[in-house]
Structures are given as C-alpha cells and as structure tokens.
Amino acid sequence: MKKIGVLTSGGDSPGMNAAIRAVVRKSIYHDMEVYGIYNGYQGLIDGNIKKMEIGSVGDIIQRGGTILYTARSDEFRSEEGREKAIAQLNKFGIEGLIVIGGDGSFRGAEKLTQKGYPCIGVPGTIDNDIPGTDFTIGFDTALNTVIEAIDKIRDTATSHERTYVVEVMGRHAGDLALWAGLADGAESILIPEHADDFEDVIERLKRGKDRGKKHSIIVLAEGVGSGLDFGQRIKDATNLETRVTVLGHTQRGGSPTASDRVLASRLGAKAVDLLLEGKAGRVVGIQNNKLVDHDILEILDEEHKVDFKMYELSKQLSI
C-alpha cells in the first residue's frame, strides 16, 4: 500500500488532531503518501482532499477540534453517494482509509471495505461508548473538563443550602457522568444504565437534609433526561433550592489531556500498521492496557457496558 487517506467523522473529540498527526507521520515514516480528506464522508464525495506533509500536522497535537473538520453526510448513506466517494478514491489513487470517529463513522468504513477499499476505524468520541476499547479518544479530556467545572461549583456550594444538578454529555452511555461523579465525590449520579435510581436520589437528598447536610451535587447524564427538568423534579419532591448547570459543548473542546494525546498517537500509528499488514475492516482500541484490533462488524454488534463496580463504589464513598 502506497497511498492512504484519513478523515474524521461524526461529533469531534479532543485528541482527533493528535490521531491525524500520528497517521500522517507514521505513513510518511513508512514511505507512504497520505491524503487528508476534509469534512468527513461528504468531503470524500466532494473530492475535498489534500496531500499531507510532515509540516501539515505540525503544532496540532495540543489542539482541540479536528483540522480535517467533520460533517454529516446523508449522501454517503446512499449507494450513489458511495459510488462518488469511490470515484474520488480512485482519482487520487487512495488504496486504504483510516476513519477517526464513532460507531456511525465505522458503518461507513465497513461499506467501503466491502467495496475493496480497506478501512481501519479509530475510536474518537467523548462518550466512551465504543465496544472493543477500554477508552475512546477524547473521553479523558471531556472528563477533566467536567470535573474542573464541578470543582468550581463545589467551591461555592459549601455555604448555601442548595442542590446542584450538573448535566453532562454521553448520549446513551453513562461513563462520563459515572467517572466524573466518582472523581468529584458527587452525592448522586444518574446514568441511563440505572435511570430508575431517581427515587434513590430523592431519598438520599431527603436523608441528607434531615441530618443537616447543606448542599449536594448530582451529576446527570444527558441520556437520562434534561438537567432543567430534573432540577424541577428534585425541587418539587424535596423543596430544596436547586441550581442547574448545562455544560453542553464545552465538553467537546479543549486541549486534549496527555492521556488522550498518547492514546491518539498510539491508535493512529496502530491503524497505519494494520493497513501495512494488509488488514481491512478493523477497529483499533486499547484493552487491558494493550493495543488491540477487532472486526468492525463485531464492534457494531456489541454493546458498550458501564462498569457496575465503579457505580457501587461511588455510592459507598459518597455516604
């Protein structure tokens, strides 16, 4: 393989730039040409493609966002759209593709692989909801963004009889809320995987109130519902003054943490190695602290699971 392409797709996450850098430099190290495809699959269809050099990825390892941008592409979901994409791959002589993104992005990678264009998926999302990897690129950064916000709330929380609800991202996964709640000693954590715990939260708040506890912080995963709604429900149920913070897209940006940069560098390089070895239709990941790769279809079939023991631990430590 002498020419490969790289694109980012879906919601962006901090560390994607570090992954792009690793793909580009590792490819050049192995004497391959590497092309950046801008705006995800739509850019592939549109031929928004440029050859990357060592300098193209200088000074980006520390930047949030993605220099290749991302975009949704309804067109790529059609057979016709994919034919256009393949025409562009042929035009540029691109033989293999590295796709950095989430499960939706991997579906596209699988389609192209079936057409004879080997693709490797690199898991980049703050949600940490990709099976086959213990961590996704961006999760650690988003997590630190969340806990820095909660730390600040905690500073001011100590002097007021108030309940603070912090709504965090994560789509259908509770990892971000769970880790943040554990890392910040939140009094309660509400995640989609245990959404029935709302009554338990109310009970804990009432018990706390009775024994004079002045303030509580509740971390709520967006997959459970809206922070503002929950704030109102809590107020109705307990009569406690409740304040809501919606961290929103602050969680998607920021300079990636060391851990995300290292993970992105390792996974990006691993993806290049797989293409060089002739592999196709794989997703790279880190499991048990080792670099691994799995069949894309396998990944898409599996379901990500939250660590129940950590959930239990968070309850034991927030007594």
Subset of residues 21 to 40 that bind a second copy, contact rule: CB under 8 A: 21-22, 25-26, 28-29, 39
Compare residues 238 and 314 and give the one whose CB is closer to a second copy: 314
127 is catalytic: yes
157 binds a second copy (CB under 8 A): yes
Q: Which of positions 35-74 make contact with a second copy (CB under 8 A)?
A: 39, 54, 59, 61-66, 69-71
Reported residue count of the chain is 319
Of residues 179, 198, 230, 311, which one binds a second copy by CB under 8 A? 179
184 binds a second copy (CB under 8 A): yes
Known binding residue 126? Answer is yes
CA–CA gap between residue 205 and residue 144 (Å, rounded): 26
Tell me how far, at minimum, the Cβ of 111 lies from a second copy, in Å.
Answer: 22
Tell me how far, at minimum, the Cβ of 250 lies from a second copy, in Å.
Answer: 4
Of residues 127, 140, 175, 193, which one binds a second copy by CB under 8 A? 140
CA–CA gap between residue 179 and residue 153 (Å, rounded): 17
Angle in degrees, 0-180, between the axes of helices 139-157 and 258-276, rounded to the nearest 10: 170
**Which amino acid appears at position 263 of this protein?**
L
143 binds a second copy (CB under 8 A): yes
Q: Tokens for 165? A: 């609800």
> What binding mask, one character per residue, do residues 85-124 give for a second copy by CB under 8 A, x or -?
----------------------------------------
Compare residues 111 and 252 and give the one whose CB is closer to a second copy: 252
Of residues 212, 278, 290, 303, which one binds a second copy by CB under 8 A? 290
Compare residues 87 and 317 and give the one whose CB is closer to a second copy: 317
Q: Point out the catalytic residue in the list 31, 74, 127, 184.
A: 127
Q: Tokens for 71? A: 């975009």
CA–CA gap between residue 100 and residue 8 (Å, rounded): 5
String of b and e for 70-90 (b: at least 16 CB within 10 Å)?
Answer: bbebeebeeeebbeebbebbe
The secondary structure element, H or E, covering residue 284 is: strand 282-287
Three-class SS state of 163: strand
Known binding residue 250? Answer is yes
Compare residues 259 and 279 and give the one whose CB is closer to a second copy: 259
Give the CA distances from residue 49 to residues 68, 137, 169, 304, in Å, rounded to whole numbers and listed in that order. 10, 24, 32, 33
Tell me how far, at minimum, the Cβ of 237 lies from a second copy, in Å.
Answer: 20
Alpha-carbon torsion, ordered 80, 81, 86, 89, to 10 deg:
160
Of residues 73, 88, 144, 216, which one binds a second copy by CB under 8 A? 144
Q: Tokens for 36? A: 């950046």
Alpha-carbon torsion, ordered 205, 206, 210, 215, to 10 deg:
20
Tell me how far, at minimum, the Cβ of 161 lies from a second copy, in Å.
Answer: 9
Of residues 155, 199, 210, 303, which one binds a second copy by CB under 8 A? 155
CA–CA gap between residue 246 and residue 174 (Å, rounded): 16
CA–CA gap between residue 215 and residue 205 (Å, rounded): 9
List beta partners, residue 96: 4
Tell me how far, at minimum, the Cβ of 79 lies from a second copy, in Å.
Answer: 26
> What binding mask, one character per residue, do residues 250-279 give for a second copy by CB under 8 A, x or -?
xxxxxx-xxx-xx--xx--x----------
Residues annotated catalytic, as ranges: 127
